[in-house]
A and B are shown apart, each in its own frame.
Chain A
Amino acid sequence: MPETVLGGHKVRELTFAQAIREALAEEMRRDSTVCIMGEDVAEAGTPFKVLSGLLEEFGKDRILDTPISEAGFTGLAVGAAMTGMRPVVDIMFGDFITLTMDQMVNQAAKVHYMSGGKWKVPMVMRTTMGATRRSAAQHSQSLHAWYCHVPGLKVVLPSTPYDAKGLLKAAIRDENPVVFFEDKMMYKMKGSVPEGDYTIPLGVADIKRVGEDISLIATSSMVQVALGAATMLEEIGISAEVIDPRTMWPLDEKTLIDSAKKTSRAIILDEGYERYGVTAELASVIATGAFYDLDAPVKRMGAMHVPIPFSPPLEDVTVPTEQTVFEEARKLCGK
């Protein structure tokens, strides 16, 4: 892969999956209490091959293949995190987080509070999200909103290889349970990633594109959709700003509100179900924080309220696209 040197750090083009793997490898070298557990994480390196090569370096004591027992190994990770380890659990498909709900919601999220701050749970759950992989209703959902609803958990949604590496390293070092959602459609996406150590603090949004007329607040793979729509909008004279909150909680409300105040219009883009979802929360933040500066109602765009269908033409209309975002933004700007 081509390499460049920027600011003293070698910068390479890595895929999203490679950036995740590098973050894990660096953290495992740095801290012997970091271990990975999940289904087919060792020799197989997961079906997405995100973890390939880690077994060879770190061995079976730290890269642990588990039975197909999501609740079982997630619960085990909670106890391990409380007693000196920093486990990273791998939930192959985000749809399977339903099987881990009690362990994450009633155990991991509440241990610190219920114990009056005496026990903590420094663990990471990595899982996937994202439709359009033709995997049908039980392997395509984006269910991050469910964990956003629970006090005690942090929720991270990286949108670029650079962010993925820095945010995952921060998540592993965090003293709390962090759920890290990776859009499986982005694993092969390339981007610049510096070699070596850097972290991105949880709770800091990133302005992915500066604009003046409308704010596109987008998460995970929707950031790329928003950037594509912004290019289309530029051609008709609309300058779109693209903001990526990067973490759903903690949430950088100020950056979202400041952007909406500046542009006076906002669309929220997220691949989770639109109804009662992340888009509703972020729209509320903007509607409340930027109310007197808004020239249009805040628009939400998420997944349709249907189980994700298998048939490609059906699946494709369930999630926002560059074209649909472009059209909604144009309408909102009165053009």
Chain B
Amino acid sequence: MTTATQPTTSQDVALWLRMYRQMVAIREFEGQVNELYTRALMPGLAHLYIGEEAIAVGVCEALERTDYITSTHRGHGHCLAKGASPDQMFAELLGKKAGYCKGKGGSMHIADPATGNLGANAIVCGSAGIATGAAFSAKHLGNGRVAVCFFGEGALGQGVLYEEMNLAQLFKLPVIYVCENNSYTEYTHYSECTAGDILMRAQAFGLEAVSVDGQDVRAVHQTAQRLVDRARSGGGPSFLLCNTYRYHGHHVGDINREYYRSKQEEHTWKTERDPILNMGKWLLEQKHADAPALERVQKELESEMKKAVEFAVAAPYPDVSEVNEDVYA
């Protein structure tokens, strides 16, 4: 969000267009995942990030490639936003050798040292320690890196999160805890399992804690950038609460959702609060892009994702002899 006192620069426009593109990339990627899963080409579980794209993109655009992130079971968006390549991601999702983890991790465990991705984690809040530890290393080694810990609001129920925030504040570590409140802890509205005030939980440890509209990529980015800069300059840990909405079920197979939320509610979020639609509208209004340009972005990414899927489908499985490899370093 620019203010009247800050004139728009070409870098701003480039950033906004890049963030738009990244959000579309995630949505197209997830669309393909949905397709692969429903066509029974993808084994296991698929937790789609559709609806939440602005958070991964807004936060990761505030990071350097060498900064660290940890991700969740709903992690495809974080991996892509941090720079992962779709073909290796799809290959991993299908359990292929060409995947990021040689097929050993799957959808919920994509990790990529080249982009600072310490790994997606299928234990709710499982990576709070890892992210805090990466921040500890960054401080001890003096390499100037920061760590971002992505987690859903379901992780607020895990005690270890509070142990880590306490440690991070005691050691003044460069870590940002990014809570994606998509309103539903699996199949239960978060208000049924979250007592008190979320921000006050972090504030109790002395962390700077702020909330932001998680559907507004510019707002997410601007706030994240401030917290990242603060962490990098020794200001310590912070907590960023992003309010958002999960368009699909908890996982792809969660089709009948009426028992926990209404179709009207889903419709409202998809039509009025969509991060891509709203960013697109704003770019057009501000004349930073025209309609054909946005359409082109859409088409390009659709085609890129299709090619990535084709690569993954054609890629070979690992040889069974590899099952014993990588247990120990």
Residues of A within 8 A of B (CB): 33, 35, 61, 64, 66-67, 69, 71-85, 87, 102-103, 106-107, 111-122, 151-152, 154, 175-176
Residue on B with the closest CB to A250?
B328
Chain B interface residue count, CB cutoff 8 Å, equals 46
Contact: A72 with B137, CB < 8 Å?
Answer: no
A76 to B129 alpha-carbon distance, docked (Å): 4
Over the window 287-329 of chain B, the binary record of Cβ atoms lying under 8 Å from chain A Cβ atoms (1 yes, 0 no) is 0000000000000000000000000000000000000011111
Is B214's beta carbon under 8 Å from chain A? no
A-B contact pairs, 12 of them (CB 8 A): A67-B167, A71-B129, A79-B70, A79-B134, A80-B136, A82-B130, A111-B111, A113-B326, A113-B327, A116-B105, A116-B326, A118-B101
Asked whether A72 lies within 8 Å of B170 as measured between CB atoms, the reply is no
The answer on a CB contact under 8 Å between B111 and A118 is yes
Alpha-carbon distance A112/B111, docked complex (angstroms):
10
For the complex, give the distance between the alpha carbons of A111 and B120 in Å: 10
Q: Which residues of B, 118-157, contact A by the 8 Å Cβ criterion?
A: 118-119, 121, 123, 126-138, 140-141, 147
Q: Given that A67-B167, A72-B129, A75-B133 are contacting pairs, would A115 and B109 also be in contact in the complex, using a CB cutoff of 8 Å?
A: yes
Which residues of the partner chain A approach B102 to less than 8 Å between Cβ atoms? 116-117
Contacts of A119 in B (CB 8 A): 111, 113, 118-119
Q: Which residues of B contact A87 (CB under 8 A)?
A: 133
- What residue of chain A has the Cβ atom nearest to residue B130's Cβ? A79
**0/1 per residue, B73-116, Cβ < 8 Å to A?**
00000000000000000000000000111111100010111000
Residues of A close to B112: CB separation below 8 A: 118
Most buried by B among A64, A75, A81, A154: A75
Check if B163 sits within 8 Å of A83, measured CB to CB.
Answer: no
Interchain CA distance A201-B100 in the complex, whole Å: 32
Partner of A83, one of B109, B138, B167: B138
- Assess whether B36 is interfacial by the CB under 8 Å rule: no
Contact between B68 and A83, CB atoms less than 8 A apart = yes
Cα–Cα, bound, A83→B144 (Å): 13
Q: Which residues of B contact A73 (CB under 8 A)?
A: 163, 167
How far is A79 from B146 in the complex, measured between Cα atoms in Å?
13
B136 touches A78 (CB 8 A): no
B7 at the interface (CB under 8 A from A): no
Contacts A79-B131, A107-B129, A116-B102 given; does A71 touch B326 at CB 8 Å: no
